[in-house]
Structure 1
Amino acid sequence: MTSTHLVVSPWERLAARIRMPLTAVTVVSLAVDVFLPVPRWWPWIYIATAIPATALYFRLATPHADPVDVTAPVQGRWQAVNSPTSRVPSHYVHAWAQTYAIDLVFDPADGSRPEMSWWPLVRHPTTYPGFGQPIVAPIDGTVVRVRSFMRDHLSRSSPPALLYLLVESVREFFGPIGILGNHIVIRRDDGTHLLLAHLRQGSLLVKRGDRVARGTKIAECGNSGNSSEPHVHIQAMDRASVWIAAGLPIRFDHGEPPANGDLLPTDATL
């Protein structure tokens, strides 16, 4: 693996540092206006912050840097969803440093992965072959953040359930834990960070301060947080905290991330 030379511009770094705090100020000031008596000038707070916060949240100041080289965190037949190769921001937003994030869904050739259908509305996560699949460290580094208390909820495996998932996005107002679910952040020696999210509750094998090597099992695939079905979410960042981090591009051993619907080559990487 080669080291990463960050080329994120000062403006892109500043935008990343203020993006989510500015969004939080907008939301909180609006909530205060709705639920509490406030001075007449109060609405100008969220009016003044809403426009730049929205622009930064969705489009403005896409960070640019050399890609972070990583090993695939999974083994087997995994399909790319929300890939930065197909679009940037890959998840439609820059929020929580997700600019270049990618989702990987276990999709065995035997067709055992349930398809989207009108019935049942939801499924237990154990009905998906990806649930419980081993997740390994994509880089050598030090574990700097671990969150493991979120439950694995039912899948959103039908159109009505997906609509409900959109409504559930309100959980973002309570911070990134509601979006990421159980997750691990690993810091590489050069200061870049890798985040792995939606991990299975009770499966995390590391704690803060642990040193991990690439290819070492650290958790299992789960369905915690803002997740429609069991999958692993991976993103690179320039800081450990998604509140202020800039998202960075990643590059797997076989090259750039697969496009949406394509398979991630993994057999030769683990």
Structure 2
Amino acid sequence: MSVRKLAMILFRLSWIVFVAFVVAVFAGWDPGWALLMSPAVLGMLLVIVMGRLTSAKVKAADARSPVEVLAPVTGRWTALNSPADKVPSHGVHGYGQTYAIDIVAEPGPDSRPPFALLWPMARGNQGYPAFGTPVLAVADATVVHASDRQRDHLTRTSLPALAYLMLAESAVRDMAGPARIFGNHVILDLGDGTYAAYAHLKKGSLTVAVGDRVRAGQRIADCGNTGNSTEPHVHFQLMDGPDLDTARGVPFTWRGIGVPANGESFTPQDEASPAPSLD
């Protein structure tokens, strides 16, 4: 087991024990017991901090040139949290997210519901054009992970809901590990030590399974709103391994598009038609 993997496991276990301790204290534990437990709690906090610092040091894969692949969608989309503007694009190197990008479908002006200050606090997903749109293989590849059993939750596109996500939900999901951060997700082995990850996929939308061979442009799932997500969107990244706990980010460029910047809209060219899985 690698040091990074062990650090992530200790980080999650420490958070779980610490949260359980805090809940027990607020539930009426004897203060004397709480005092006796304080050294242990301080030790837990130290492990949490060291685990977080260790995971934060997971850098991008060294000396890798951008890998050119097809875009994972068709139609008109807009980029958010793009590595064209900031690296690491999502503020962390962990989970191979150094060069990750988020994209939302925007077929026309005002096609997405606006961000709300107070009301509605949460919305369903059907009003978002990204929800249910096909997500495509970016290259010929082999499926090494595929999961789609998590439910699609309501949006977090109001001030109260976003505060809840940032202050509580994200921390709980981080404790549970990458599967709860990425939600339903697919990982493809593109060869030459490069892997593509797609996150926040729609429940029950997978068209592939582990071990399948896929063609570039083949539909592999649909866009959803699972995991640590504010609204239906596609989270895409390249990395140097299939394990999200230890993978390092790899830069990418989409053929004919490059890397769209934050707020930049783009329409992928139809360079590949969906194809059935290979035998």
Computing the radius of gyration over CA atoms, which structure comes out larger, 1 or 2? 2
Q: Mapping of 1:165-204 within 5 angstroms?
A: 165-166=165-166, 167-169=168-170, 170-204=172-206
Query: 5+ unaligned residues in a row in structure 1: which ranges?
Result: 1-13
Secondary structure of 1:126's counterpart equals coil
Aligned residues: 254
The one-letter code of the counterpart of 1:18 is: V
Q: Distance in 2 between matches of 1:45 and 1:227?
A: 28
- Cα shift readout 1:224-243 (whole Å, capped 9, x = no counterpart): 11111100001111111101
Q: Which moved more, 1:39-48 or 1:111-120?
A: 39-48
The match for 1:139 is 139
Q: Distance in 2 between matches of 1:101 and 1:45?
A: 31
State the Cα distance separating 1:68 from its structure 2 match: 1.9
State the Cα distance separating 1:108 from its structure 2 match: 1.5
State the Cα distance separating 1:49 from its structure 2 match: 6.8
Tell me if 1:116 matches 2:84: no
The match for 1:73 is 72
Tell me if 1:24 matches 2:9: yes
Task: Give the structure-2-normalised TM-score.
Answer: 0.82
Tell me if 1:234 matches 2:233: no
Q: Distance in 2 between matches of 1:85 and 1:230?
A: 22
CA RMSD, Structure 1 to Structure 2 (Å): 2.5
Identity of aligned residues (%): 42
Query: 5+ unaligned residues in a row in structure 2: which ranges?
Result: 22-33, 273-279
The one-letter code of the counterpart of 2:254 is: F
Conserved? CA contact 1:21–1:243, under 8 Å = no
Task: Give the structure-1-normalised TM-score.
Answer: 0.85
Conserved? CA contact 1:257–1:264, under 8 Å = no
Conserved? CA contact 2:146–2:209, under 8 Å = yes
Q: Mapping of 1:1-270 within 5 angstroms?
A: 18-19=3-4, 21-29=6-14, 31-32=16-17, 35=21, 43-44=42-43, 47=46, 50-51=49-50, 53-58=51-56, 61-64=59-62, 65-118=64-117, 119-166=119-166, 167-169=168-170, 170-270=172-272
- Cα shift readout 1:31-85 (whole Å, capped 9, x = no counterpart): 546739879588457536724x433444664433211221001011111011111
Secondary structure of 1:143's counterpart equals strand
Secondary structure of 2:129's counterpart equals coil
Q: Distance in 2 between matches of 1:40 and 1:82?
A: 40
Conserved? CA contact 1:185–1:240, under 8 Å = yes
Q: Distance in 1 between matches of 2:59 and 2:137?
A: 29
Conserved? CA contact 2:256–2:269, under 8 Å = no
